[in-house]
Structure 1
Amino acid sequence: MFVGRTDELDTLKDALARAAAGEPQALLLGGEAGVGKTRLVEEFAAAACRRGAVVAVGGCVEIGADGLPFAPFSTALRALREALPEEFAAAGAGQEEELARLLPELGEATSSRHDEQGMARLFELTVRLLERVAAAHTVVLVLEDLHWADASTRHLLAYLFRTLRTGRLLVLASYRADDIHRRHPMRPLLAELDRLRTVRRLELARFTREEVARQIAGILATEPDPAQVDDIFERSDGNAFFVEELAVAACQGCCPGLPDSLRDLLLVRVEALPESAQRVARIVAEGGSTVEYRLIAAVAQLTEDDLIEALRAAVGANILTATTGGDGYRFRHSLVREAVADDLLPGERSRLNRRYAEAVETDPTLVPADARVMRLASYWYHAHDAARALPAVLDASVVARRRHAYTEQLRLLERAMELWDSAPDEVRAALRPVDYTDVYPPCGCDPATTPLRYLDLMAEAAVAGRFCGERERALKITKKALRLLQDEPDPLRAAWFWVQRSRLVQALARGDGWQELANAQDLVRGLPPSEVHADVLANVAGWSMLHRPGPEAFAAAERAVEYARMVGAREIELNARITLGCLMVDAGDVESGLAETARVMETALQEGVAHVAGRAHVNLPSELESVGRSREAVPILREGIAFARKYGLLDSEAWIWGNLSDSLYALGQWDEAAEAASGALGSAASAKPRGSGALRLAHIALARGDAAEAGRQLAISHAHYGTHDPMPQQLLPIARIAIGVAAEEGRILDARVELDRALAVGFPPGTQRYGWPLLLAAATTEADARALPVAADGRADVLDRLAQAARKLTTGAPVWDAYERWTRAELHRAHGTDTAAVWSDVVTDFECLDRPYDLARVRRRLAQALLEEAAGDDERDRATELLRLAGAVADHLGAHPLAEAVALLAQRARLTLTLPHARLRSRGGTPVPRQALDPAESLGLTNRERDVLRLVSTGRTNRQIAEELFISPKTASVHVSNILSKLGVAGRGEAAAVAHRLGLFPAEPLTAEARG
C-alpha cells in the first residue's frame, strides 16, 4: 500500500495539470536512500498515465564515469520514441544524425568537427525535440538517481531546466540527498537549479510513527503490535526501506541479534539465501546497475537450471528484481547492491570484472551495442589488466567524444594516461593517433603509421577539458606537457600546447593570454608552413584584432590565410579570413572587407562549418553597424540567431543578440533593443557575452533617464567582463556609459576620472566606433556643466585634451564623420562659441543617416542655438519645427531627458509645440505629470526653495545661503534637505546638475520676448 506523501503527490499532480495546460514544469525530488523516492515516482507515473500523459523513464548508471554518457536521457528518449513514434520522427526530422549521439538507433552519429559548441549544439537539439514532441501530448520525463549521473547528463539537465520554454512537458529528476557530500559534483548543479524560479524542489522526509505503523501493516497484512512498531520505528528512524527490511526480518524470525550497522542490516537477508543465490547476487552487484540475463549466465557458469533457481531465490527474497523489459536483473534497492559489492574481496572483484570482460569480448551480443565499449572499458580497468584496459579505455574515450560527452572523454583519457606506463611496449606500439585522437598536433609524421604517444593523449585530454569546462584540469595537463617537451624538443607540439594554454588562461580569468601566444609564435617563427603554424598565426591575428588592432594584426591574418591554404587547413583559413575582413573594414577598406566577410559566411554555410558560420553571423553585422549600416545588419543578425540556435552555438547566439541590440537602438527601436540585450544575458554560456548584454541594457536605461538602473547594469557588465582581459571594445563603451551615469547624477569630477582612464587606454586603429561616442559623451558633459562652479577648475585642460583626442581619432565612414562634427560642436558649446551655423552642419550630416535619436538630439541643439542668437520669426519658426520633430522622437522612444529638454526650451522661448507636454521625472526616473509651465513648480519647489536651489547651484554653503536670504543656517539646511528629497538626488552636486539640465536658472534670457 502507498503510505503518506499526500502533499508531495498533490504538488506533482498540480505540476502535471500546469504542464498539460502548456506551461512546462521542472521538479527535483530529493531524499535520503530508502526514503521512498522511487515509490512516489511510481505512484505519480501511474496517476499521470491515467490522465493520458506519456511517461518516459530513464535512470542513471551507477558506475558513473564508466557508464554510457547521457544514459538516463537515452533510455527516456527511447521510451518516448516507442510511445509516440510518428511524433518523435517528425520532431527530429533532419537532425537524426546529430541526435544519434543520444539515441544510436536513429542512425550513425555524424563525424562532424568536435568543438566547444558541439555539446551545446546537441543540448539545444534535444530540448527542441522534447518541446516539439510535447506540443500535442503531455509528456512526463522522469530521470532517476541523479547522484550517479555522469557529467554530460548533469550538463544536459541543467541546460534543459534553463532553456525549456514551451510544450506540455514535465521533467522530474530524483537524487539521493545523503550522497550529495560537499565535493559531490551534483552539489553545484543543485545550487544552480535552486536559483531558477522555474524549478521546484521537493525533499522527502522520513515517515512518522503513524506512517511506519501503516507501512508495517501493509507488509505483514495484519495490524502490528505497538511495541513492535516502536522498536522498528526507533531502529529505522522512519526510513521506509529500513522499515521494510526490519519488518520482514522480524517476520522471518531473524530479528534477535540483528546488528545495528547499516551494512550488516542490508546483508542479513542476502546471507540467508542459498549459496548459489548469494554467488549470483555478488556477480550481479559487480556487473552494473542492471545486468543482462545472458551475461550473468556467461559469468556465473552455472547450469541453466541452477542459475534459474538461484535467481528465483534472490527474486523471491526481494533482493533482485527483473528489469522492465524482462531481459535482465537488478537489485531491488541500490543500497543492498552497494553493501554486497563492498563485501567483495579485492581479488574477487578483479576476477569478476575479468570474467565479465572476457564474456563480452567472446560474445559481444551479451550487452546492448551502444553500451558495449563503455562496459568493456570499465570491466578491464577494474580487472587491473593494463594490457587489455588501455585500448579498451581509449576506445571508450572515442565513443564519448562522438557523443560530445567531453567530461567522460576527459575522465577516460586520464585513466588511459594512468595505465600508460603499466601497459606493455608492444601494446602501446600498436596504438595509432588516427584511431584515438582528434586534435593531435601534426609532427611531420603519418598518424596512420606512427605509434600513439603519451603527448597525443595529453593533447586530446587538454582539448576535452576545455570543451567540457574542466579548465583547471586541462591547464594542469598543458603545463605537464610543456615540461615534457622541454626534455623532448618539438616546436610544433609545444606551440600547439601554448595556444591551448592561452585559451585556458583567458577562460579562467588568469590573464589575457598574449604571453602564451607570443611563446607559440616564437616557436614556429622560421619553420615551414604547417597547420599548427597557420593556427598560431590565426590566433595571434584574432587576439590582436580584439586587443591591439593595427598593421601587425593585419599581417598575421594575411599570413594565416596564406599558410592555411598551402597546407589545406580549410577551417583555419576561413576563420583567418573573417579576421582579415574585419581588420580591412576597421582600416577603412570598408567595401572590400565587408565583401570578404560575406563570402566567408556563404562558404561556411555551404561547407557546413557551423562554428565559422556562427562567427561570421556575429562579425559581419557588427562591421556593418560599425560603419552606420544598421538596417543592413538587422536581417543578417536575425538569420544568425536562428542559425546559432539550430546548431546550439550559445555564445555566438548571445553575441548576435548583443549586436542586434546595438543596431535596433541606432534605428530607434528601443523596446526591441532591450529585449535583444536581455536575450544576450539569457542565452550566453560564457561571462563576456552576458557582460555585453548588461552593457546594452545600461545604455538604453541611461538614454531613458534611469541612471540608477544604468549604474546597476554597468556594475553587472563590469563583473562579467572582469579585469583580466581588457579589450577596447569593452573598456571604451563601459567608460562612455560610466561618464553618462556620472553626468546624470551630477558627479562631474567622477565623469572626468572615467575620461582620464579612457584617454590613458587610447584609441587603437579601428576603434573609432567606440571612441567617438565616448568623446561625444565627455564633451556633452563638459558643455552641460559649463555654468557649474564645481566644474570650473580644470575645465580648460579637459577640453584641450578632448580636442587633441578628436584630432587623432579617425573617421572613415559617414556616421563617424557626423560624430566628429557633433563632438566638435559640443566642444564649441563648452567654450560658449557654438553657433546655429555649427549645429546646422551637424543636423545636415545626421539627416543623411538612419539614426533618429541622434538626429533628434542635434535638432534640439540647433533649435537652442537659433533661439539664443535673438532670431527673427523665420528662425523661431524653424526652431519650433526642430523641437517638434525632436520631441516626437523623444516621446516615442521614452527618452525622458531629451523630452524634458525639448519641453523646457520651448517653455523658456514661449514656443507652442503641437505635442503633448513632456513629463518630468521624479525620484528614480518615474515620469510625473506636468502641473505648470514652470519646471520648478512641476518639481514641487516653493519660491523659497527655488531661491535656495539657485544659490546651491552656484556653490554656496548653508551659511552663505542664510546670509544672502536673511534666514538662519538651520533653516537653510532644512530647505536644502527638502530640495534634495523633491529632486530625488543624494547631494548638492547632483541637485545643481539637475537644476542646470532643466534650465531652471538660465544665465541669460533667450530672447527679448522671453525677457518680457
Structure 2
Amino acid sequence: MLDGMTSAPVSSRFVGRGDALSALAAALRRSDQGVPQKVLISGEAGVGKTRLVEEFAETARIQGAWVAVGECIEIEAGGLPLQAFTTLLRSLLSRSTEEVAPFLEGFEEELSGILPEWGRSSLITDPGEGQGRLFALMGQLLERLAAERTVIVVLEDLHWADASTRSMLTYLFRTLRQGRLLLVATYRSDDLHRRHPLRPFLAESDRLRSVVRIDVPRFTRDEVREQVREIISADPEPSEIDRIFARSDGNAFFVEELVRAFDVNSRADLSDSLRGLLLARILSLPENVQKVVGTVAEGGAHVEYDLLRRVSPLPEYDLIEALRVAVDAQILWPTRDGDGYRFRHSLVREAADQELLPGERARLNRLYAEAVSADPSLVPAEERTARLATYWYVARDAKNALVVTLEAAVEARRRYAYAEQSQLLERAMELREIVPPDALPTRDHPGHPDYPDQLDLMADAAVSTRLSGDRQRALSIAKQGTSTAEARADTQRAAWFWIQRSELVQELGMGTGRQELDQAHELVRRSPPSVFHAEVLVAVAAWGARHEPGPESLADAQHAVEFARQAKAEHTELHARVIRAWLTASAGGFDESIEDLYRVRRTAQELDSVSALGRVSITLPSTLEAAGRSAEAVAAGEEGIRTCRARGLTNTEAWVRCNLSQSLASLGQWEPSRRAAEEAARIANSRKARALVALRLTQIALMRGEVKESKRQLALARGLFGTDDPQPQFLITPAEVAIRIAALEGRLADARAEFARIVSVGFPAGTEQYALPLLCAMADVEAKARGASGPDADPERESVLATIRRQSALVRPLAPVWHAYHLLLKAQVRRAEGTANAEDWAEVAGAFAGRDRPYEQALARTQWAAALLTARADRAAAAEQLTEAYRAARLLGARLLMDELLALASRSRISLDAGTADAEPDDAAAQNSAASTATPDADATASFGLTAREIEVLRLLAEGNSNRRIGEELFISPKTASVHVSHILDKLGLSSRGEAAALAHRLGLAAAEEAG
C-alpha cells in the first residue's frame, strides 16, 4: 500500500481531539471574563499533546490572543533552572517592541534572574525571600500583560521541569487573581513514577477549582485511518490500517513512525518494542549519519551548529550532508531560531543516546566541554555554565567539573533556583573529596576568594536545601557541618550551624530548637561584638519572644541591637529592633514599641531591606491589635500587604493577612475577616502560616455558629501546629475554641478538661490578648451550665471558678481594651456564681464602648438585659438593651448570640423589632409557667425551617428523652420520632443529639430553662 508513496512529516490536517479542544475553548472563554484559568494536559509520550496545543494556540492567535511558549528540558541534557520561563519571556519579547515594552517597564532589573540579557540585579534581597519576590514579579507581569488582551502561556514537557520551575508554576496557579490569562501546561503521564517530583504539584493543583485537567487519549481505529490518509495523501487499505493500529495502539507518534518504517523497510518485520522501532530507522541511515545523530543526542536537548562542527570529526561538507539526511528522515529538526538542531521527538533522542557505549559518552562530553571552554560564544551565555558542568561531569574530569559546578551553583543562586543550587553544591561536595586543593586552578581576579572548602560548601548547601523546601535533608547537612566545624575548633561556623539546626528543628516540628540555640549562644558568648554575634543574639531573642516573652528575652533583644550597632550591621539591627519592640509591647510599653516599629518600617523602606520589611509588616499590625488599636492595625496590615506583594514576600503576606483578619474580626467586619483569611490560605506555604490560617477560619466559623466547620478547621490547625514546638499563642487560642465547641455540644466535662490542660501550661507575660478571652470563655461556659442545671452546688464548678480567679489575678490588663476584658471576666464569674447584677454588666458595656469591639458590647448588653429581667427591674431598659444587642448581632452575623437573644426575648415576651415589652406577668409563678409552656417566638426557629411538630420533638430531646419516650409523649411511634430527630439534625446542620439539646437550651425550648 505504501510503496511509491511520498509521506508528509505529519498529518497535514488536525485529526480528532474534539473534546479536548472544546475544554480548552471553554477555559479561554472564562479567562476572557477576567478570571485567570489554568489547564493541565496529560498524556503518554507521542500521543499528540504538543499538536493539540499548537492547533488551539493557532486558532487563538487568529482571534487576537498573545501566545507565549516555554519549554522544559532535561537538566542533565544541558538545561538550567527556570529555562522554561526564560524561553517564555523571550517568546513575549519576540513581539514588536512597541507592543511589549510598556508592560515590561520597571521589571527589567528585577526579572534579570530569568532573562540575563536584562542585566544583573543590584537589589539587596534576603535569600529566604528572593525566590518569592521573583515569582511575584512574574505574576504581576503576566497580570499586567493580560489586563487588556487575552494572553495564553504554554509550558511544554512539565515532567522535565526543574524544582524552581515547578515552584513558580505552583505560585502562579495559586495566586494569579485577575486578567484575561490562560496558563496551559503539558506533561507525560507515563513518565510519572511513584516518587516523581511532579506528583506533589499535580496533587496540589487538583485542590484548586480553577484548574482544568485534560487527558489526551490514544486515537481510535477510525482516527488512525484518518491520520494515515493525511500522511500518505491516499486512502489506506483496511488490512494495513489494522496492522498499524495494532502495532501503534493508537499512539499518534507511533503511527507516523510505523508509516515511515514500512516505507523505508518495504514492510519488513520490525521489532515489537518502541526502541527497536525507533532504532530501525536510525540504523537504516548511512554510518556517518548515525554517528552525527549519536553526537547530537549526547550534546543536549539541542545543539548549535557551530558547536557540532567543532565536535564532529567529519569535514564540514560531509557534516552538512549527514545532517541533511537526518533531517529528511525526520530524525532531526532545525531549532526554532535556526542556529542548530534538535531531535524531532525526545523518544528518538532517548533511543539514540542509549545506543552509545559509556566510553563513547565520556569522549563526546569531553569534546563538547573542550570546545565550549575554548570558545564560550558557541552556546548561549545563560546556558554555558550549566552545560559545561554536565559535560565535564559526564566526561569524568573531576577538577574541571568542580570548577564549573561551583560557577553553576552561583548562577542558580542568582536565579533563586535553590533546589538546583543544592544539587550542584552536593555534586561539588562529592568532587571536592577527590580533587586535591593544589590541583585547582588559580584565580585570576584580584581579591577573588579561594575555592570554598567542604565546610563552606556544607553551609551553602544547608541554606539552599532549606530554601528549596527539603528541610529534612538540610538538617542532615547542618548536622554534618556542625561536626566538621567543631572538629576543626571553628567556633564561629559551628555556632552558625547550630542556629540552622534550631530553625530547622522548629520548622520540622521536631522540637522547640532551644537546646540548639543554647549551644550556639555558648560558643559565641565570650567573643567580641560582631555581625555574627549579633545574629546569634537576634535568633535567641526571637525564640524568646515566641516561647518565653519576658525580661530575659527583652535583655537579649537589647544586646542584639547594641552589638549590631557596634558592628555597623544595619539590616541585623533592624531585625533586632523589631524583636525588641515586640517584647517591649509584651511588657506593656505599647506606645514606645509602636513608635519604634513605625521608625523601623521607614528605615527598612529607605534601605530596601526586604527581610526587615517583611518582619515589621507582621509585627506592627499584631502589636497595634494587642494594644486595642484595631482600626490602625487594619491600615498597617493593608500597607504590609502592599509591601509584601511588591517584593514577592508570599508567605509573609499570608501572616500579614491573618493579622488583618483578626483585626477586622475585632472591628465586627466578619465577612471581610473571612475573605482575608481565605486569601491567606491561597498563598500560605509554610506549616505554621497554614496553621494560623486554619485557626483564623476556626474562630470566624465559631462566631457565626458554624460548629462543624469550626471543628474541622481546629483539627487542621492543631495538626499543623504540632506538639513539639509549644508556643503560647498557638496553644491558648485553640484551647479557647475547643472549650467553646465542647460546651456547644453539651460536653461540659471535655470543656473543663481542656481548660485544666491549658492552665497547666500557663499564661506567660505578654499573652493577655489570648489568655483573657479564654478565661472569659470558660467563665461563660460555667455560667450557662449553672443556668441549665440550676443553682445547686457543683464542687467541680467551684474549683474551675477558683482557678479562673487565680489566673485573672496573674494576667495584667496592660491596655484599656484588656481592662474591659477584665471587667467582662469579673462579670462572667459572678454570673457563674449567681451573684451578677445589672450594674456589673452596665459597667462592662460602658468599658467596651468606643473600643471597636461590637461583639463584646453586644454580649454585655445581652447579659445586662437578662440581669434586669431576672431582678424584675426596668423592663423598658431591658427591651432597649436587647434590641441594640440583636441589631449588632444581626449585622455581625453572630448566629449563636442571635439564638440567645431570640430565646431571651421570647421568654420575656419582648419584641426585638420594636424594642417594646408586653405587660409584665402578675407574679413570678405565672412568668415561669409561661416560659415553660409557651411556644417560642417564631423568629427563634423560623430561620431553621422547623415545623411545629419538630419544635415539640426538639423540646423533648433537650430534656434528655429517648425516641421511645418522645413517641409516648406525642403519641407517635419511636420510629417516627427517630425520623423527626434526623430531620431536625439535618435542618440545624448538627451531628448529634447533644448538639441539638444545647441549641434547644439556647433557644429557650427546654422546660428546665429559667425565664430571664
The two structures share one fold, judged by TM-score above 0.5: yes
Contact 2:126 2:611 in 1 (8 A): no
Deviates more, 1:932-941 or 1:50-59: 932-941
Return closer, same or farther for 1:590/1:296 CA change in 2, 3 Å cut-off.
same
Match of 2:929 in 1: none
1:601-620 aligned at under 5 Å gives the runs 601-620=601-620
Contact 1:935 1:1000 in 2 (8 A): no
1:493 and 2:496 aligned: no
1:453 and 2:453 aligned: yes
In the alignment, residue 158 of structure 2 is paired with which amino acid?
A: L
Match of 1:241 in 2: 253
1:892 and 2:891 aligned: yes
SS at match of 1:527: coil
Match of 1:298 in 2: 310
Match of 2:218 in 1: 206
Return closer, same or farther for 1:307/1:796 CA change in 2, 3 Å cut-off.
same
1:186-205 aligned at under 5 Å gives the runs 186-205=198-217
1:42-191 aligned at under 5 Å gives the runs 42-64=54-76, 67-83=79-95, 85-110=97-122, 112-191=124-203
Alpha-carbon separation, structure 1, partners of 2:835 and 2:824: 14
1:285 positional shift: 0.8
Match of 2:843 in 1: 841
In the alignment, residue 896 of structure 1 is paired with which amino acid?
A: R
Match of 1:759 in 2: 759
SS at match of 1:140: strand
1:147 positional shift: 1.7
Match of 2:262 among 250, 267, 271: 250
1:853 positional shift: 1.4
In the alignment, residue 898 of structure 1 is paired with which amino acid?
A: L
Contact 1:948 1:972 in 2 (8 A): no
TM-score, normalising length: structure 1: 0.91
Alpha-carbon separation, structure 1, partners of 2:1008 and 2:872: 15
Deviates more, 1:931-940 or 1:152-161: 931-940
Deviates more, 1:405-414 or 1:519-528: 519-528
TM-score, normalising length: structure 2: 0.91
> How many residues are matched?
978
Encode CA deviations 1:668-697: one digit per residue, 9 max, x unaligned. 111111111212212211122222222222
1:404 and 2:416 aligned: yes
Alpha-carbon separation, structure 2, partners of 1:65 and 1:811: 65
In the alignment, residue 489 of structure 2 is paired with which amino acid?
A: P
Alpha-carbon separation, structure 1, partners of 2:1008 and 2:808: 29
1:531-680 aligned at under 5 Å gives the runs 531-680=531-680
Return closer, same or farther for 1:417/1:79 CA change in 2, 3 Å cut-off.
same
Alpha-carbon separation, structure 1, partners of 2:331 and 2:86: 27
Return closer, same or farther for 1:897/1:306 CA change in 2, 3 Å cut-off.
same
1:997 positional shift: 2.9
1:742 and 2:742 aligned: yes
1:565 positional shift: 1.9
1:260 and 2:272 aligned: yes
1:687 and 2:687 aligned: yes
1:971 positional shift: 8.0
SS at match of 2:214: strand
* Unmatched 5+ stretches in structure 2: 1-10, 918-934
In the alignment, residue 636 of structure 1 is paired with which amino acid?
A: A
Encode CA deviations 1:412-454: one digit per residue, 9 max, x unaligned. 111111111222322448479x99xxxxxxxxxxx95555211
Match of 2:797 among 795, 798, 809: 795
In the alignment, residue 800 of structure 1 is paired with which amino acid?
A: A
Encode CA deviations 1:171-208: one digit per residue, 9 max, x unaligned. 22112222211122122222222232222222222223
Encode CA deviations 1:787-846: one digit per residue, 9 max, x unaligned. 334993511111111111111111111111111111011111111111222222222211
Alpha-carbon separation, structure 2, partners of 1:863 and 1:931: 21
Encode CA deviations 1:513-538: one digit per residue, 9 max, x unaligned. 22222222222222222333222221
RMSD over equivalenced CA pairs, Å: 3.1
Alpha-carbon separation, structure 1, partners of 2:274 and 2:248: 10
1:270 positional shift: 1.9
Return closer, same or farther for 1:932/1:380 CA change in 2, 3 Å cut-off.
closer
SS at match of 1:511: coil
Contact 1:785 1:993 in 2 (8 A): no
SS at match of 2:281: coil
Alpha-carbon separation, structure 2, partners of 1:935 and 1:187: 49
Alpha-carbon separation, structure 2, partners of 1:350 and 1:563: 54
Match of 2:360 among 327, 348, 354: 348
Encode CA deviations 1:372-407: one digit per residue, 9 max, x unaligned. 122221211111111111110100110110011111
1:419-434 aligned at under 5 Å gives the runs 419-428=431-440, 430=442
1:111 positional shift: 5.0
In the alignment, residue 804 of structure 2 is paired with which amino acid?
A: L
Deviates more, 1:621-630 or 1:880-889: 880-889
Using the aligned pairs only, state the percent identity.
49
Return closer, same or farther for 1:114/1:338 CA change in 2, 3 Å cut-off.
farther
1:307 and 2:309 aligned: no
Alpha-carbon separation, structure 2, partners of 1:290 and 1:207: 29
Contact 1:143 1:172 in 2 (8 A): yes
Return closer, same or farther for 1:945/1:222 CA change in 2, 3 Å cut-off.
closer
Return closer, same or farther for 1:972/1:255 CA change in 2, 3 Å cut-off.
closer
Match of 1:869 in 2: 871
Deviates more, 1:290-299 or 1:166-175: 166-175
1:57 positional shift: 1.6
Return closer, same or farther for 1:795/1:48 CA change in 2, 3 Å cut-off.
same
1:994 and 2:999 aligned: yes
Alpha-carbon separation, structure 2, partners of 1:120 and 1:917: 58
Relative contact order, CA 8 A, sep 6+: which one is greater? 2
Contact 1:618 1:655 in 2 (8 A): yes
Match of 2:373 in 1: 361
SS at match of 1:142: strand
Match of 2:785 in 1: 785
Alpha-carbon separation, structure 2, partners of 1:794 and 1:520: 47
Encode CA deviations 1:24-48: one digit per residue, 9 max, x unaligned. 2222222222222222222222222
SS at match of 1:510: coil
Return closer, same or farther for 1:949/1:212 CA change in 2, 3 Å cut-off.
closer
Contact 1:945 1:976 in 2 (8 A): no
In the alignment, residue 584 of structure 1 is paired with which amino acid?
A: T
SS at match of 1:27: strand
Return closer, same or farther for 1:901/1:287 CA change in 2, 3 Å cut-off.
same
Return closer, same or farther for 1:615/1:66 CA change in 2, 3 Å cut-off.
farther
Match of 2:44 among 6, 10, 32: 32
1:1006 positional shift: 6.5
Return closer, same or farther for 1:541/1:734 CA change in 2, 3 Å cut-off.
same
Contact 2:621 2:636 in 1 (8 A): yes
1:637 positional shift: 0.6
SS at match of 2:38: strand
Return closer, same or farther for 1:504/1:967 CA change in 2, 3 Å cut-off.
closer
Match of 1:338 in 2: 350
SS at match of 1:252: helix
Alpha-carbon separation, structure 1, partners of 2:947 and 2:309: 90
In the alignment, residue 713 of structure 2 is paired with which amino acid?
A: Q
Match of 1:438 in 2: none
SS at match of 1:83: coil
Alpha-carbon separation, structure 2, partners of 1:499 and 1:664: 36
Return closer, same or farther for 1:877/1:225 CA change in 2, 3 Å cut-off.
closer
Contact 2:899 2:1002 in 1 (8 A): no
